[in-house]
């Protein structure tokens, strides 16, 4: 009987100490052909209520900006920089400065020039999510977006 209670106690403690993994941002991807030689790659962040992610344009000393790194390819070239809609800009006490961020959802867009076939745009993105109480460590996500 003592062994049973010891095992039960161990299970209860183990379950109560498991860290809750927070993932307040979900990413989705698409590509839209503009014509036979150009396409727009769409990278969407859906952000849980109360959370936000930061713009690509954050001053030094602030949070980690959202950034995109595209793998080189012979099938396409990037046209310009990744664009984003107008962010919300507010003072955040945690950083002691005005920061620009997105709530709810945001779509980042990257135009590409297609050199051959149906390319697959691969790369990584880095972002940081915060709410009014805390910030999560920066996270890196890999993506692979077929252009049909």
The pLDDT, as a whole number, for residue 20 is: 67
- How buried is 86 (Cβ within 10 angstroms: 0-12 exposed, 13-18 middle, 19+ buried)? exposed
Q: Distance between CA 38 and CA 147 in Å, rounded? A: 10
Domain count, the chain: 1
Stretch (H or E) spanning 32: strand 25-33
Per-residue pLDDT averaged across 27-54, rounded? 98
Tell whether 56 is covered by a domain. yes
Tell whether 111 is covered by a domain. yes
Tell whether 5 is covered by a domain. no
Tell whether 74 is covered by a domain. yes
User: Whole domain around residue 121: which residue ranges?
Assistant: 21-146
The pLDDT, as a whole number, for residue 94 is: 87
- Asked whether residue 13 carries a pLDDT value surpassing 90, the answer given is no
The pLDDT, as a whole number, for residue 19 is: 55
Per-residue pLDDT averaged across 44-52, rounded? 98
Tell whether 8 is covered by a domain. no
The pLDDT, as a whole number, for residue 7 is: 35
Tell whether 14 is covered by a domain. no
Q: What is the pLDDT of residues 50-92, one digit of tens each?
A: 999 999 999 999 999 999 999 999 999 999 999 999 999 999 9
Tell whether 2 is covered by a domain. no
Tell whether 70 is covered by a domain. yes
CATH number of 78's domain: 2.60.40.1250
**C-alpha separations of 8 from 14, 18, 19, 51, 102 in Å:** 10, 16, 19, 37, 45
């Amino acid at each position: 009987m003592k062994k049973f209670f010891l095992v039960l106690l161990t299970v209860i403690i183990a379950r109560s100490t498991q860290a809750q993994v927070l993932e307040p941002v979900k990413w989705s991807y698409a590509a839209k052909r503009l014509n036979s030689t150009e396409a727009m790659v769409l990278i969407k962040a859906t952000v849980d209520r109360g959370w936000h992610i930061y713009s690509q344009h954050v001053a030094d000393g602030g949070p980690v900006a959202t950034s995109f790194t595209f793998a080189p390819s012979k099938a396409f070239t990037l046209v310009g920089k990744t664009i984003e809609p107008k962010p919300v800009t507010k003072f955040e006490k945690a950083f002691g400065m005005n920061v620009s961020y997105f709530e709810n959802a945001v779509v980042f867009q990257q135009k590409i020039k297609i050199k051959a076939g149906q390319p697959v745009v691969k790369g990584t993105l880095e972002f940081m999510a915060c709410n009014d109480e805390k910030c999560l460590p920066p996270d890196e996500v890999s993506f692979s977006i077929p252009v049909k």
